Structure 1
Amino acid sequence: MANLKRKVRSLQWKNSKACIVMLVLGIIASFALAIAVRFYALEPVQLHDSSMFPRHKEKEILWMCKLPQCIEKLKYNETVWATLRSGESVVRKVIGLPGDRLDFSDNGKVRTPHGRFRWKEETAFIQSRQLHIPRKGDTLHLDRLNDIEQDFFVNLMHEAGKKFFVKTTLWQGEREIGVEALGATKLGNRQVSLQEIDFLPWQDRFLLEGQVFHSEPGDAPIQMRYEFFEESDSSKITEFVVPEDCYFLACEKGAFCMDSREVGYFTQSHLRGRFVKEPRIAINYIKQLSRSLLVSIIGQKKRAAQPQGDAQPEKAE
């Protein structure tokens, strides 16, 4: 008798207006969910140049997964979608992860803990350098940074909104030389202004140090040293806690392509997505949400069809 009552109520529910409304709402919700996930989880990005050739061709459309699990678990050699501090978006290759040490040579080769990489037509690295990529929470001690790490530190400070100024001094060994000696040096065909030396990139500083060395008596190398001070109270900055994980992103081409060589580290907040050949992660995400919605609708139908104070099922003899 109880089973018959349940069947009657189920048929009444299926033919009721409430059931039809629930089904329509379920279809609308599923459609809205699919659109929302399309913009939240997966987005097509078209390349407008050949900076990633031959890995990716110009005008190629790449599907980028924007889910947190896609961006937070990056691996070496993956293609990612990132944003420059100017707001421009770029597609680049991951060659340095948080905690990695990169060894650069003057011919464009890079040695990493995960493999080797080489730019085509590299011209930015004019001398071999080492670079340690910081993790979130790492403390950078400024007196231990080399010239390229100092450049990247300056970019991190700007990104963090820190107000600071730089004091440049010139040294030959432990003998300080007047910084005015840099006024006689040249970059290309132009004279160097003393007003610009505080924020010159490490390549330019290296060239200027060589020029001063040839004009100054002594055998010890010339070195430009940077000191950083808070703009508010002129207190000296000796260390800096890194607020986000940092990555080194690179183009495939070396010349006329902006990547971490010029702009420094790409922090976690500047990563927008990761290239997926088959967008299975986003598809599975959509299926999971749709399944949860369907289970919820079915549960509501069952609760509506179940009579109040339903009798206990009869025990088999």
Structure 2
Amino acid sequence: MSCTILAIESSCDETSAAVISDGKILNNIVATQSVHEKYGGVVPELASRAHQQHLIPVVAEALRTSGVSKKDLTAVAFTRGPGLMGALLVGGSFAKAFAYALNIPLIEVNHMEAHVLAHFIEKPYPEFPFICLTVSGGHTQLVLVKNHLNMEVLGETSDDAVGEAFDKIAKILGLPYPGGPHLDRLAGKGNPKAYSFPLSDMKGLAFSFSGIKTAVLYFLKENIKQEPDFIATHLEDICASVQFTLVKMLMQKLVKASREHQILEVAIAGGVSANSGLRNTLKEAALENDWQIYLPKLEYCTDNAAMVAMAAHYKYRAGIFCDLDISPLAKMKIGYHG
């Protein structure tokens, strides 16, 4: 069944559109929102307004560069959730109007499932079943992927996401927004064993990252008392030690999940999957545990419409569409379709 789909992503602070034709991504247009930089974090209302400004030009560029006209489209897809409610409303409303005007089907996509399915944009593809560690500013989950449309969350964070921990600690250290990539860059120059921070001790496959933020804050306060320029003098070692601890917390649970479910196909996805410390540690763990690992291209780690388009492709093939009155779900869970 031939299909050409326009996909829209607007869950947070990236406005993105992509076109997919018979499973092949034709483009992936992304407009970033620099308005948040001076606030040190995403401001939901400003994100919604920026989506309104960017969406029409981004969609027009996606259609133009793909060589696909509106009449060639067989469906329109959009991120239903999870995400910022206002941002989701902008993208969802646009997608509904576009589908209605063209009288073509509408497809809702789970943002976190889309991150997982980014692994099917380009070969090599993971073999089912596989375990995917999805890590971002809003989520930290271990997902058992049984097929393209059947996923189960094995464990997730009980409080903060690991991406939030990276960004908040980076902010404490005085790094620019977004802080995670800056912390990663500095960590590459430091000693990961310079300082020790506590690991969370959650049962099963659950994560917790609120404690390390507090631990780092008190650690800095105590050392600044003795050495006022402590952060500036030891910044690279601090970043390396923080990153080492956060990555170790992720890897402990990933190894545990792989052994419990006897699965050697392992992938990572989401914004934090671009972190060099995590990627390098995963490669080392693959040798120790005989894993076949899958690392997404950097352009498919952060929020983008190509992954939404790929998820929509599989839903289209399965005949899974939604009504025009469907509402966004800010806390949409993996495995929920309704």
TM-score (norm 1): 0.25
Q: Which has the higher helix share?
A: 2
TM-score (norm 2): 0.24
**Structure with bigger gyration radius:** 1
